Structure 1
Amino acid sequence: MKVLVCGATGFIGRAICLRLAAAGHEVLRGVRRPARGGDVAVDYSADLQAADWLERLRGVDALVNAVGIISEKGAATFDALHARAPVVLFAACAQAGVRRVVQISALGADGGDTAYFTSKRAADEALMALPVEWIILRPSLVFGAEGASAAMFCRAASMPVIAAPALGKARFQPLHVDDLAQAVAAALSPATPAQRVIDIAGGRAVSYDGMLSAYRSAMAFPPAPVLHIPATIMACAAWAGQFCGALLTPDTWRMLRAGSALPKSCAASAAPICELLGRSPRGINDFMAPAERELFRLRALAAWRTALLRWVLAIVWLATAIVSAFVYPQADSLALLARVGLEGMPAIAALYGAAALDFIFGIACIVRPRRALWLVQGALILGYSAAIAACLPEYLWHPFGPLLKNLPILAILFILFAEEKTWTT
């Protein structure tokens, strides 16, 4: 069967393409920038007429629409990518004689009132009205090694203290991406009855805390205390997030509070996914294979470790600049500089020049992190540490260890220099 998969370079689309190819299908990858044979150029922000699709659908037996976003950016809006483009694509499928269409929607799209859900529902309803064989799959949260949401949850779970929103009784039932890909392959089979909307989720529903606890345990971290963030603070953060492109927005916060799980204690709701898979879907405790756990662990740590080191370093440089220029008595600073051979205007220039350089380094740690920056900072610290050790040797055995404390800073710079590209890049 020749299958066009739109959104083939996305997290879910890649898994579907691999599964279909392994099953012997001829897979056409619908991508914005074709890079290899079998790629078909598609642009959901521009291909908004059925005529735009007819030639691309020539000879195609089935279509899988796996295009989806969780937040809007520029022309990539919910309305364009989830609704307008899929609606005309589905209409073109009916005109071109495409036998079957599988739409990847979202659990909750039938009744959710956020822009994300309403755009998904608009495409679902348009497909249901067409004279083609259709199956709409509505998955819960999808977990996989390449998933952005999975990375976010694993990162949160890896913290020494887990910060979790206070979500009350909200339940989550994540689905492994391989199970979703297998369900898509089964949905394309002529033996699978069409004209169906199937809600699919994993084998176990848990609370938000339980979800993070399961991921933390799978990554071999010991249990950690959970700090619950009040809903009011989360709502304020979501309001601010909509203006800076953050994943947390008022809509995603509402979706998070609603949870993502099948109806509780309803065996019938899980029957369709079991039918498609020929088995029960994996539960959350089985998402990470033993061979994958160390990779998940390292990625989770790397996702916040580098940022933490950079910000701590920035704070050290900025605080040093402020203290040197405005807080510490100037006379005492000039007295220290006199002991290393600087007096008068050269000493004043050195004092405030060093403070300015510290300030620049602090800002650069935030806005321009580079290997060259870490190298220059390390060289400067080594240089003035050697000068102080030679001219002010009492600081070597000072009880507060001002020179010895440069060692952990040098270690931070060494780690940042070694990890220019993190595991999450």
Structure 2
Amino acid sequence: MRVLILGARGFIGASLADAFTAAGHTVVKAVRQPVAPDEIAIDFASDHDPADWGAFIAGVDVLINAVGIIVETAAQRFDVIHTAAPVALFEACVAAGTRAPRVIQISALGADRGDSSYFLTKRAADEALMSLPLDWQVLRPALVFGEEGQSARLFLTLASLPLLPLPGGGEQPLQPVHIDDLTDAALRLADPATPARQCIELAGPAPLTLRDILLVYRRALGLPPTGQFAIPTPLMAIAAAIADRIPGALFNHENWRMLQAGNTCAPDALAAATRLLGHAPRSIERFIAPERSADLRRRALDSWHGLLLRVALAIIWFVTAIVSAGAYPQADSLALLARVGLAGVPAFVALYGAAALDFAFGVATLFRPGRRLWLAQAGLVLAYTAIIAFALPEFLVHPFGPITKNLAVLAILIVLHSREVSS
């Protein structure tokens, strides 16, 4: 079959493209910026007229809409991406008449009952499709686990932390499904022998709390048991409200509301999905294969190790700036500079200029990290160390080790620089 997959660069879309290709089908990938021969250009942000889609669906046997966003931006709105463009696409399929492809809409578990903008716009597209005279299939997966999935990477990162953070206590019921079960379900729904006009909810075999999911992932990563701490619901609400004001943030008040509500599948719906697959969806304990454990553990740890180093480094620069600018007695600072050969106005310029530079390095460390920044900081640390070692040698043998601790700072900078090079 000739299969057109919209959103083929996304996690789910790319997985579907790989699965249909492996099954021997001809896959055409619809993306915003095509770069390969099997890709074509589409834009859900602007293609809202059925006439925009007629040429794309010609000769297509199966059309899969896997386009979706989790967070709105100025350029991508839920009502446009989830509803307006897909409905125009579905209407174009109706206009194709007997040549219309079978349409598979990748929706979301909870779209039929959720009240968030994400769910409401998904539901609107689902209902529009189900009202049309087409061979349609609506697939509503739960939270999808896959190594390249954004939510999976986030959960694995949380599971790898020294202490498990539990938003709102971690009692929210979830029923994640593995990406391989989703692609298998889509392959079966695309089969002409499978009855059309089905709405399938796809989830794991049993609900688990967020706490249990993180504990399972931690064991699967080969990490030892650790403590847990609950993040109070009011604090999560405040964090979500702040995140609402940060463009592109992956967490906001709607995501928090959806997590609080949970995401599970009714037993009869799960039974229907099991019949479609021909087997029960895999359990969460089987999501991470033993041979993948070490690599996923490394990736999970890497995801927050770099941030930890940057935060620690930024704190060093900020504290140094504050101490230099006034927390340390100015007269004592000027006396030290006099021993380096600076007095009068040059000493004041050096003192407060260095404080300003230290503060700027702290800000850049948090918001503008990069190889040049790490090299500049390493150069400054080495210069400070050389000057102090020459002019103030007593600090080399100071019991608090103010100069020898620069070795740890340089080690952090080397690690951060090497991470930039290898990424």
What TM-score, normalized by structure 2, do the two folds share? 0.95
Q: Return the letter of the residue paired with 1:328.
A: Y
Instruction: Report what 2:200 is aligned to.
Output: 198
Match of 1:189 in 2: 191
Bigger Cα displacement from structure 2, 295-304 vs 209-218 = 295-304
Measure the CA separation in 2 of the matches of 1:333 and 1:365: 26
Aligned 8 A contact 2:170 2:210 in 1: no
Distance in 1 separating the partners of 2:171 and 2:154: 21
Aligned pairs for 1:134-213 (under 5 A) are: 134-166=136-168, 169-213=171-215
Counterpart secondary structure, 2:288: coil
CA shift digits 1:66-119 (9 cap, x unpaired): 111111112311111111111111111122122411111110011111111111
Aligned partners of 1:346 and 1:27: how far apart in 2?
69
How far did 1:15 drift? Answer: 0.4
CA distance in structure 2 between the aligned counterparts of 1:86 and 1:400, rounded to whole angstroms: 65
What letter matches 2:412 in structure 1? I
- Counterpart amino acid of residue 130 in structure 2: M
Aligned to 2:359: 359
Q: Report deviation, 1:341.
A: 3.1
Alignment correspondent of 1:251 = 254
Contact 2:337 2:347 survives alignment (8 Å): yes
CA displacement at 1:340 relative to structure 2: 2.9
What's the counterpart of residue 116 of structure 1?
118
Q: Is contact 1:6–1:30 with CA below 8 Å preserved after alignment? A: yes
Would the aligned equivalents of 2:170 and 2:211 in 1 still touch at CA under 8 Å? no
1:421: how far off? 5.5
Quick check: 2:101–2:135 contact (8 Å CA) kept in 1? yes
Deviates more, 1:110-119 or 1:160-169: 160-169
Structure 1 256/422 Cα, relative in aligned 2: closer, same or farther at 3 Å?
A: farther
List alignment gaps of at least 5 residues for structure 2.
none
1:40-51 equivalence runs, <5 A:
40-51=40-51
> Are residues 422 and 261 of structure 1, via their aligned partners in 2, closer, same or farther at CA, if it must alter by over 3 Å?
farther
Partner of 1:242 in structure 2? 244
Alpha-carbon offset, residue 347 of structure 1: 2.8
* Aligned twin of 1:26: 26
In the TM superposition, 1:215-234 aligns within 5 A as 215-234=217-236
Q: Which residue of structure 1 lines up, in the alignment, with residue 265 of structure 2?
A: 262
CA distance in 1, matches of 2:383, 2:244: 45
The answer (yes or no) to whether the contact 1:303–1:422 under 8 Å persists in 2 is: no
Q: Which whole-Å CA distance do the structure 2 matches of 1:330 and 1:257 have between them?
A: 52
TM-superposed deviation, 1:169: 4.5
Range with greater deviation from structure 2 (12-21 or 318-327): 318-327
Amino acid at match of 1:31: V
Q: CA deviation at 1:372?
A: 1.8
Per-residue deviation, 1:218: 1.4
Q: Contact 2:61 / 2:102 at 8 angstroms: preserved in 1?
A: yes
Separation in 2, partners of 1:111, 1:355: 56
Q: In 1, distance between residues paired with 2:288 and 2:380?
A: 44
Alpha-carbon distance, 1:148 to partner: 0.9
2:325–2:351 Cα contact (<8 Å) kept? yes
Matched residues in 2 for 1:269 and 1:47: separation?
34
Query: What is the CA–CA distance in structure 2 between the aligned matches of 1:65 and 1:356, rounded to whole Å?
Result: 52
SS in 2 for 1:420: helix
**Residues 37-69 of structure 1: CA distance to partner in whole angstroms, max 9, x if unpaired?**
232221111111111111111111111111111
Equivalent pair of 2:171/2:211 in contact (CA under 8 Å)? no
Cα distance in 2 for partners of 1:422, 1:134 equals: 45
SS at structure 2 position matched to 1:419: helix
Q: Note if contact 1:112-1:118 (Cα within 8 Å) is conserved in structure 2.
A: yes
**Segment of structure 1 superposing worse, 370-379 or 127-136:** 370-379
Q: How many correspondences in the alignment?
A: 420
Q: 1:249 to 1:367 in 2, by over 3 A?
A: closer
State the Cα deviation string for residues 106-140 of structure 1 (Å, max 9, x = none): 10011111111111111111111111111111100
The structure-2 alpha-carbon separation of the partners of 1:355 and 1:169, relative to structure 1 and needing over 3 Å to count, comes to closer
1:363-407 Cα deviation digits (max 9, x unpaired):
221232221221121122122223322332222222211112111
For 2:134 and 2:368, how far apart are their aligned partners in 1?
A: 53
Alignment match, 1:302: 302
Distance 1:142 1:364 in 2: 35
How far does residue 170 in structure 1 lie from its aligned partner after superposition? 2.5
Between stretches 339-348 and 292-301, larger displacement belongs to 339-348
Query: 1:319-340: per-residue Cα shift (whole Å, max 9, x none)?
Result: 1111112111122122222333
> For residues 281 and 47 of structure 1, what CA distance do their matches in structure 2 show?
36
1:415 Cα offset (Å) = 0.6
Deviations 1:289-344 (A, max 9, x none): 22322222222222222222112211211211111121111221222223333333
Task: Evaluate the alpha carbon distance shift between residue 352 and residue 321 of structure 1 in structure 2; reply closer, same or farther with a 3 A threshold.
Answer: same
Contact 1:3-1:61 at 8 Å conserved across structures: yes
Residue matched to 1:340: 340
Q: How does 1:4-83 map to 2 (within 5 A)?
A: 4-83=4-83
Q: TM-score, normalised by structure 1?
A: 0.95
Opposite residue 420 of structure 2, the aligned amino acid is E
Which stretch shows the higher mean deviation, 50-59 or 355-364?
Answer: 355-364
For structure 1, the residue ranges without an aligned partner over 5 or more in a row are none
The letter of the residue matching 1:247 is L
Retained in 2: the 8 A contact 1:63–1:98? no
Q: Secondary structure of 1:163's partner?
A: strand
1:42 alignment partner AA:
I
